[in-house]
């Protein structure tokens, strides 16, 4: 076999799904066309995109609440405090994500900002859950670390997660400020937080999409309020 046989549809093409003589991939090896996507899957994509667009079209109504939360967080950091993020499941992932944005940077180079995600330490979470119950996993960490002048940022799509409620209550008892990114009707967290941002939707995925948009916006607003970026 010559070294370039495979370029000319020669022997090297045998058994590799190429049509005889033309060197082109058979239909089985080509990516499916749009028409090959089952209609129920295509419809789900369209439905999710429509829900997302409709929700984001009304998020402007949250502008004042987001701005107030940013001022509270910036004031905390300006006075030497730190941010503590907490949430469960997807909201735990968002907590990690947003804490990283503050520790690192959003877009432009600037000084790091102190932020900790209370869901990051598996040993601490499981020790507290094992000894005191899962409802205490955030409250006990705040009791250990948070001080007046700090700020807790809670993420909960329902506003009803017991451990988030306990964490917000602990923040209040410690004199620690609090911001809550919520959904649905805000649940009990809406009352416990100093600044509540309630996404007007009932679907968990859509609420979380809005939460990460709001979280990025808060980070950018805090950076500007502190004069770290122009």
Global pTM value: 0.83
**What's the rounded Cα separation, in Å, for the pair 221 and 229?**
10
pLDDT tens track for 123-176: 999 999 999 999 999 999 999 999 999 999 999 999 999 999 999 999 999 999
DSSP-assigned letters across all residues of 130-184: HHH-GGGTTHHHHHHH--TT-EEEEE-SSS--HHHHHHHHHHHHHT-EEEEEEET
Residue located via tokens 């809670």: 154
pLDDT tens track for 114-133: 999 999 999 999 999 999 99
Low-confidence ranges of the chain (pLDDT < 50): 1-27
What is the residue extent of each domain of the chain?
50-225
- We find that the CATH architecture of domain 50-225 is 3-Layer(aba) Sandwich (3.40)
């Amino acid at each position: 076999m010559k070294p370039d046989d495979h370029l000319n549809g020669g022997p090297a093409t045998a058994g590799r799904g190429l049509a005889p003589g033309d060197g082109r991939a058979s239909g089985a090896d080509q990516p499916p066309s749009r028409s090959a996507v089952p209609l129920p899957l295509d419809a789900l994509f369209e439905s999710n995109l429509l829900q997302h667009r409709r929700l984001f079209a009304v998020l402007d109504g949250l502008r004042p609440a987001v701005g107030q939360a940013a001022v509270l967080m910036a004031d905390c950091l300006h006075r030497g405090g730190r941010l503590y993020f907490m949430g469960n499941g997807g909201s735990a992932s968002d907590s990690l994500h947003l804490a990283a944005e503050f520790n690192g940077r959003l877009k432009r180079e600037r000084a790091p900002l102190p932020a900790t995600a209370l869901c990051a330490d598996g040993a601490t979470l499981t020790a507290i859950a094992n000894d005191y119950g899962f409802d205490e996993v955030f409250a006990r960490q705040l009791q250990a670390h948070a001080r007046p002048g700090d700020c807790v940022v809670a993420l909960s799509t329902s506003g009803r997660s017991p451990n988030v409620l306990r964490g917000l209550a602990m923040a209040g008892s410690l004199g620690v400020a609090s911001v809550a990114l919520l959904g649905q009707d805000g649940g009990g967290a809406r009352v416990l937080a100093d600044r509540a941002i309630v996404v007007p939707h009932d679907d968990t995925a859509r609420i979380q999409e809005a939460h990460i948009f709001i979280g990025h916006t808060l980070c950018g607003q805090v950076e500007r309020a502190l004069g770290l970026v122009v």
